[in-house]
Structure formats: structure tokens, C-alpha cells
Amino acid sequence: MPVTFKVASHSASPLNPISGTQRSDALIQYTRLHRDYVAVDTLHLSSLNNYHGPTTDSEASSSPGNGFPLTKLTTSDQSGFVRTILSAYNTHHNLVLRPDDLWISIIAQFALFLEKPEHSEALRDWFTDSKEKKQIHIECVYLSQMPSLFREALANAVVDKELVPWITPSFTTTTEQDREVASYLLMGALKQFFDFSCQLCCGIPSVTLLGCKEDYEDILRRIDYFEKFDHDDLTHWAGMLNATVQKAFVDAFDSEKKDSVVNAWSKVCSYRGGGSGPTYLSGWLSAFTFFGNEGVPVMRGYGGKNDPQRKDLEDYEEDDEDLTEGTGLLGTKAQFGLVDMSDIATGVCEVKIKVTGLRGRDDEEVDMLVVAGSSSMGRGKLEGEGDQAKVVVGTDQEDDTVFPVNAWWMVEQDPKAQAERKAAEEKRLAYYERLRNGQF
């Protein structure tokens, strides 16, 4: 049964109206994820074409047509989960979360951790028994079948047979789109070990936590899986996640713990610094952007051996309880730190797939790029509470609720645009190199 609880005494503020001239579709949302993603790329398919919002109605979430207006999504190059909670906190909007949003943001961070070659090599034996890349090849009728078929193929290919069930969400709120996003994140996480190809074959044509307590307890059990890898960074990160999920999510379903839950959510995030220097994010939300885009920790002061800023505790202010030993931010010994706002990582991962058999291009091997993860923030109007809560599409003036959106895109990138971007980047780097060498 979903639960709704008040964190602050003030009522929800409406979001700013959407521009009357604003338009949006899945391709436009894709271009907002990264500067290398441009409108001349060919979008073959996206889960946003059938996105219905954070509904608990399984029929609505699986039926085609009448989707959620994409003009109500805000997509950027930073995690949709993190940006959504920041928006709710900073501008006083109701917040709706599903266990799927929480879990996908976690595995997106794990995928970033594995981006660093040193990390992927350290964990290689968990995923493959080969020192060389293995080929994962599937055959399907439709592009939409790819995520589930690749998931099945990886389940057979990886050494650790618990990996794929662990990654794949299976909560009371989980939609097929969530499983698809998780599948592509899994592929992105394992791209150091596997290459992916597909042959298309012919065939016959407030805070409202959705789900139930058991869903979030399931996430706790899944977080314990990270301990198997015996890696210092993953162990520190898992400690933060355990404290956060228990205190801010699982306990929310226990009415006797209402006060402590409200207290936990009051510590979701805050800002330090600013002025002429960097602004830092603190609070438990920082655990969901622990790893940066290079797969290394960007959190400062968490206490691990790879801490980018191993400072003495006395350097922190006395009231920085989230940065000190003892009871810690959430009443556990989990030590949280600071994340530079400019270091908030992407919530998506990309993986390349070679596809043959496209209609009209039967003999051509096409390089596809799949981008998947926690991508956006949606907006709408919250009606009801608890198990009656639902987000509806209202007028712009009625929108008072935000929620994370998990999505994926399958594109064929324009080679000319790619070459132009590469040349421009090389020119930019050469300019700064000359500048550093005093050649001007």
C-alpha cells in the first residue's frame, strides 16, 4: 500500500507554467541528455513513446497511445532522480517516488562505477570467465524485443547467476519499461566484457512512495549484494544506501516511525559553499551521485581510501553531522560527504549494438546506440493519498507534483555530425593546450 506523509508544514507550490510555444518529443528529450546527442541523429525507438507517468494502473502503463505529455518532462545531462528531488526540495513541490526510481538510480551509479577500467577488471571474475570480450548475439522480430532478449542472453552468459535477477526490478510498481531500462543499464555496465549484436528477423506482425513496504525491503536485500564484490568504494556506498533506504523509505510504511521518517526526509539535501567557489550538495541524496561520469567517487569526505578530499574531521563545521563519525546523518554509522553540484553524474548509460535486417537495409550492418536510465523529471497534479494517490495530467497552473522518469532511446547517430563534433572537440583541446603553453 502506498504511503503519503507531510515533511514540511507549508503546502505545495505550483510549478512555473510551460511556454505556450514549447514542443517536445522523444528525440528532443534525447538531445538534452548530452551535447553529443543531436537532432540529426535518427531515433528508431524510445520508451517515451509509450510513457504514461508514475501510474499504479498496470493496464494504463502497458497500453499504447494516450501517453503522458512529453512537454511535462524536464531532461538534462544530470540524474533525473537527483534533479527531481532537488526541485521538490528547493521549490516546494509534492514528490512522488516508486521503488523502481530508487533502484534504477542505484544501478545507474553502479554502471558508472564499472566505467573505470580498473574497477571493471577488479570485478571481471564475477561477470565473465574470459580475458577477452565475448559476443552476445540475439535474433528478434522487433526492436522493442531487444531488451528482454539481451537480458535473457546475459543471464546465461555471466558467471554470477544471481546478477541479472538482482539488477532487474520486480516490485509491485514495476512496468515493462522499467525492466527494459534496467536491461540496457545492465548491458552498459557490462560493455567492458561483452559486445552486443542483433539480427532482426521476419515475423508475423508531499512524498508519495508507490508500491508496498516489501518492495523497498527488497531493495535493501539487493543493496547487500554489493558486499560480495569486496571493494572499498562499493562497501562505503552500500552503507549509505542501506541507511537511506531504511530510514527514508522502508520506515515510511510504519506509522509509529512517522516522526523519524519526516526527520530523515528533512535531511535529504542541503547546500554548502557558493559565492565565488563551488556549491556542494550534502544530505542523503548525495549517495545517489556517489560515482562521477568516470566511475570514480566524486563525494568528498566520505572516509574511503579513494576519497577525493581526505580531510581531518576538525576541518568541518561542528553542525556537519552528516560528515562526522558517531551516529551520522541518519542515526547510523554510515558516513556521508559532499558532492560538487557540477559533479552530479548522469543518470543514463550508453551501449552500442550492431543490428542487421532493418527494413529496406537487409544486407547492411547498422551501428545503434542505446541510451537508458534515470533521465528526466516529470510534472503533474497529485490527487488522493496513500493507496488512492495518483498523478494526473492537469493544466500547467495545476501542476504541483514532480517525479523521476526512467527511459531509453535507440538511435543511429549521424556520422557527419559525429565527425564534426569530434573535430570541434579536438580544435578546442588544441586551443587550450596552446594557451597553457603560452603560444598566443
Residue 241's pLDDT band (boundaries 50, 70, 90)?
very high
Which residues, 6 or more positions from 44, have their beta carbon under 8 angstroms from its beta carbon? 143, 368, 410, 411, 412
Return the amino acid letter for 117. P
Confidence tier at 183 by pLDDT (50, 70, 90): very high
- Say which residue, 133 or 67, is predicted with more confidence: 133
Spell out the residues 6+ positions from residue 257 whose beta carbon is closer than 8 angstroms to its own: 251
- Residue 66 has what pLDDT? 60
- For the chain, percent of residues with pLDDT exceeding 90: 47
The pLDDT, as a whole number, for residue 213 is 96
Tell me how far apart the alpha carbons of residues 297 and 334 are, in angstroms, rounded to a whole number: 16
CA distance 435 to 439: 6
Contacts of 274 (CB under 8 A, 6+ apart): none
Report residue 204's pLDDT band, with 50, 70 and 90 as the boundaries: very low
Query: Which residues, other chains included, contact 234 with Cβ-Cβ below 8 Å and sequence gap of 6+?
Result: 113, 226, 227
| CA 403/CA 52 separation, integer angstroms | 12
> Around 378, how many Cα atoms within 13 Å sit in the side-chain half-sphere?
26
Q: Which pLDDT score is estimated for 205?
A: 55
**pLDDT for 319:** 44
Q: Which residues fall within 8 angstroms of residue 204, CB to CB, at 6 or more apart?
A: none
What grid cell was written down for 278? 563551488
pLDDT at 57 over 80: no
Which three three-digit cell numbers place residue 297? 567517487
The strand ranges marked E within 188-337 are: 194-200, 208-209, 270-273, 279-282, 299-300
pLDDT beyond 70 at 19: no
Lowest mean pLDDT: which of 48-57, 115-124, 130-139, 170-179? 48-57
R_g over Cα of the chain: 22
Average pLDDT in the chain: 85
Distance CA(168)–CA(180), nearest Å, equals 9
Assess whether pLDDT exceeds 70 at residue 284: yes
Helix (H) or strand (E) holding 134: strand 134-140
Query: What's residue 318's pLDDT?
Result: 40
